[in-house]
Amino acid sequence: MIDHLPDRLDLIATAEAGRVLRGRLPVAVLERLLPVLTSGQGELQVELSLGKDAGGTRFLAGTIEGEIVLRCQRCVKDMQLPLDLEFRLGLIRDESAVDELPDSYEPLAVTAEPAIIADIIAEEVLLALPIVPLHEGSDECHAYVKAYKPLQGEQRENPFAVLAEFKQKQ
Ligand SMILES: [Zn+2]
């Protein structure tokens, strides 16, 4: 067990050697994830296990634990989302190897460049996110929707009326 997560890692070579790496990753470095978050604060606990299975498949398996903050799509306030993820990726050098990968792995294409660990973690978290994040079991969040009523007596401008007016001026 190595108590350090490097920024970049040669996945194939590390899988050949067989390693377990563990460390804390600040949410702020997960660039691909940041656009869907309302806060880049906090850290995720990440453990990565690289090796080669009995069938010769080189793999990257891991766990991600922690908490991220998203915007609830009902009340538009922050919501904490606890993460407790597991993933198991089969390392492949090109697309054609996808078919040979056992079903127990998701494919991860490996390039000649060392992989950016933060990108892999961000991708795994993105895949696990709810399509529409909503507070669960929050009365406050549900009350927010019930309290919403369109403003009374407000004249909404008809876009077609505006267009007709515009045409008359031509
Ligand atoms: Zn909510």
State in Å: Cα 68 to ligand 1 middle.
15
25-61 tens-digit pLDDT: 999 999 999 999 999 999 999 999 999 999 999 999 9
State in Å: Cα 69 to ligand 1 middle.
12
139-158 tens-digit pLDDT: 888 877 666 666 555 555 56
Beta strands 58-71 and 78-92: pairing type? antiparallel
| Whole-structure pTM value | 0.81
State in Å: Cα 89 to ligand 1 middle.
33
